[in-house]
Amino acid sequence: MIEYFKHEPWSIVEEGFNPAMNEVAESACSIGNGFMGQRGNFEETYSGKSLQGSYIGGVYYPDKTRVGWWKNGYPEYFAKVLNSTNWIGLSIEVEGEELDLNTWTVQQFRRELDMKRGLLKRIFTATSPKGKRIEVQSTRFYSLKHPDFAALEYVVKPLNFNGTIRVHMYNEGAVRNKDSNYEELFWEPVPDGAHVFAEHSLLSMRTRKLGWVLSTATRNRCSLNNIPLNGTGQCSETRTAHEFSAGVSSGDSLRLEKFSVLCSNFRYPEANTAQMAEALLQERCAVSFETHAQEQEQAWAAIWERSDVLIEGDVPAQQAVRFNIFHLNQTYTGADARLNIGPKGFTGEKYGGSTYWDTEAYCIPFFLLTAPASISRQLLEYRYRQLPKAIENAAKLGFDNGAALFPMVTMNGEECHNEWEITFEEIHRNGAMAWAIHTYMEHTGDRSYLEEGGLEVLIGIARFWAQRVHWSEMKQQYVMHGVTGPNEYENNVNNNWYTNYLAVWCLNFTMRCLGELSASNPAARTEIIRKTSLDIATELPHWKEVASSMFLPEDAKRGIFVQHEGFLDKELMPVSALDPKHLPLNQKWSWDRILRSCFIKQADVLQGLYFFEDHFSTDQLERNFSFYEPMTVHESSLSPCIHSIQASRLGMKGKAYELYLRTARLDLDNYNNDTEDGLHITSMAGSYLSIVQGFAGVRIRQGILHLNPVLPQKWNSCAFSLRVSGNLVKVFFDQGQIRIQNLGTQPVKFCVKQEEPEVLAPARDRWLKVD
């Protein structure tokens, strides 16, 4: 853990330049708008260590799977989000010396992600090897209002000399991915796709395999003391540029401005990407940089109004939760139903940037509480549209009759994860799809999704579970062998408790939904049965038999559910018994040693207790938490939040706060020594949930808002907004009282500390004392 960034409530600030931390800062200061985004790279040349990255939503490359031993059922490719055209490129030459903070002496430096306004800003002074000193101020953003538009302002001031500054403002299409398996170039120029005009340029590039096209239209402007300068154009098939030269005096202001529109054939017809880019650029250029920046601030103000969390008395905690909320909202806006939430979002290449089960388990609960229900519904529909591919995925592994296995990693519904223990065995992901449907209905009261796709998804999932189990003559129960649970430090195990319990729940939930639809809309039920060829007479009895006879390992003596068969045969010890030099295990130990150990990567049994908390007694929750948490190394970003929420539920305030900070400041303080690769976007939902579901004790069940506040000792108070059945509700609580405000148009049912539910009328509030 490294506390590198200054603690400020609305900003992520790097004060002073440390080249060793540059890639970490690039990740933290990434910006985007739900359609595209970019790491916090320098605009000017930098020869030091840097991970250059500009990413376009939906555009990917099917990189050939690289494995030593091919196995039947392996995906043929790994989908990678591509580093795309670098539109911010600047080369600044001061009296013949190119500005490069790796070779110049940096006197002052501040890089700031302004989360309140959605701006990335930088100011620094630097001296060249020959003693020329300049000040630079830059501001850039990806527009929330205009999803294809991004803008940059860059001001250079000479401080101790008179002379010449030459500026090269360019777009570079010949970019690489750091994680290419075979050092492939993923992009090639579109024939006759590069053009430079008096003030703007157009560059079109195409991916080598799938033919994704990206057209970037950019207006480059340069002025000296507000007087426009004329530039000269330069063009190659992969690069467009404008070059300016200015005679400057000490104290002058040389202002550079780049307006860029990036249009891909993911959003527009391929034949029109170039024309669209130029047309949209012309529209964006009708408004000043300052006006666009004001519109950006207004757009972010609307997001913060519905999703902010206010913490009094703890700036590091305040900064951290806003950091996570900011990145979630700039990664996914819900404006395009074909997009989803990649684990790295627009901040890096690792994990391929594709869709994982994280969306259903973590992000949908976040958006259900902070955004209109349509956004979460859209994420559910994303999976429904990919149901045919999920059925194909299952068929490749030998399943039939419409059984569906949703992918561990995907861009288009096809499985594209290339590790066998994940692709074949981490099948619990299927259950998260069903749990998200259940959670959506509990929060919104909207049952229509069942007849509009949801029940078809559930039937496919139920069929998979019914075929994946087998009958054990020895146990006289159904069992499930050869799986990997959420704890990926165990592979190919038998009877993972979480997976088995989830399968049972999925079967029962699907049957319950079939019954519910029989009563509410029998015609829709009949049509779904016809469409899925569901054999009610034979399939449902088998589902009931499996659900009622599933083996669920437990240890009666300890009063715990056993993670999987054989787990208790391990040498059991807490993480605290390890010398800290061994952590993180995934960077210090061999895989063999990890697999033989008892140490847990992330919540496994406890993931199930989080999902189905109301199925278990407080004693059961406490026994399992006390047994498993001490052995958990939390080396998955998804782990600390689950434990924090459960610690709050069990009244363990100190442990809950400790794990909240770990989940909320995971990337900011580089807990897992991997922030340089990009941020853990999907797990960021956990920091919000650790507060709202954890410290505030929020649960929404059958449309009733339940609260059980447990304020951390360090905090004076906490306040947030959330949605309950479409109503906006504001919650404030401190060490002695809680206030609930109904800002919606319909009455809201709520209860505090498990008291009898009350009804809160619209535009009313209620103060209650809490212990």
* DSSP assignments along 682-711, one per residue: GGGHHHHHIIIIIIS--EEETTEEEE----
The DSSP result for 60-121, as a single string, is: EEEEEP--SS--TT--SEEEEEPP--BTT-EEEEETTEE--TTTSEEEEEEEEEETTTTEEE
Give the β-pairing of 54-56 and 36-38: antiparallel
Element (H, E) at 717: strand 717-724
CA–CA gap between residue 723 and residue 370 (Å, rounded): 6
3-state secondary structure of 325: helix
Chain-centroid distance, C-alpha 542: 38
Distance CA(372)–CA(378), nearest Å, equals 11
Q: What is the 3-state secondary structure (H, E, C) of 150-188?
A: EEEEEEEEECCCCEEEEEEEEEECCCCCCCCCCCCCCEE
CB atoms within 10 A of CB 651: 12
Query: Exposure of 131 by Cβ count < 10 A (0-12 exposed, 13-18 middle, 19+ buried)?
Result: exposed
Q: Contact at 8 Å (CB) between 55 and 82?
A: yes
Phi, psi of 750 (to 5 degrees): -145, 160
| Residue 8 CB neighbour total at 10 angstroms | 17
- CA dist., res. 365 & res. 689, Å (int): 8
**Per-residue b or e along 22-59, where b marks 16 or more CB atoms closer than 10 Å to that residue's CB:** bbbbbbbbbbbbbbbbbbbbbbbbbeeebbbbbbbbbb
Given the structure tokens 């009759």, which residue do they identify?
A: 401
Rounded CA-CA distance 33/28 in Å is 15
Residue 329: which of 295, 301, 349, 310 has the closest Cα? Answer: 301
| 748 close to 723: Cβ distance less than 8 angstroms | no
Residue among 495, 475, 472 nearest 484 (CA): 495
Angle formed at CA 415 by CA 410 and CA 421, multiple of 5 degrees: 115
Integer Cα distance of 20 and 50 in angstroms: 10
CA 733/CA 740 separation, integer angstroms: 9
Candidates 27, 39, 18, 13; CA nearest to 672 is 27
How far is 333 from 37, CA to CA, in rounded Å? 13
Handedness of CA 157, 161, 166, 168 (dihedral sign): negative
Triad 587, 593, 597: Cα angle to 5°: 105
First to last CA, the chain: 34
Q: Give 93: exposed, middle or buried? Use CB within 10 Å, 0-12, 13-18, 19+.
A: middle
Among residues 43, 44, 488, 676, the one annotated as catalytic is: 488
Structure tokens at 609: 């207790």
Single out the residue of 340, 337, 462, 479 nearest to residue 394, CA to CA.
Answer: 462
- 492/398 Cα distance (integer angstroms): 18
516-521 contacts at long range (C-beta below 8 A, 24 or more positions apart): 516/447, 516/450, 517/450, 517/451, 517/455, 520/447, 521/451
Distance in angstroms (rounded) separating the CA atoms of residues 625 and 560: 9
Query: For 188-194, which contacts have Cβ atoms below 8 Å and span 24 or more sequence positions?
Result: 189/237, 189/238, 190/215, 193/237, 193/274, 194/235, 194/236, 194/237, 194/238, 194/239, 194/240
488 is a catalytic site residue? yes
* Catalytic positions, written as ranges: 488
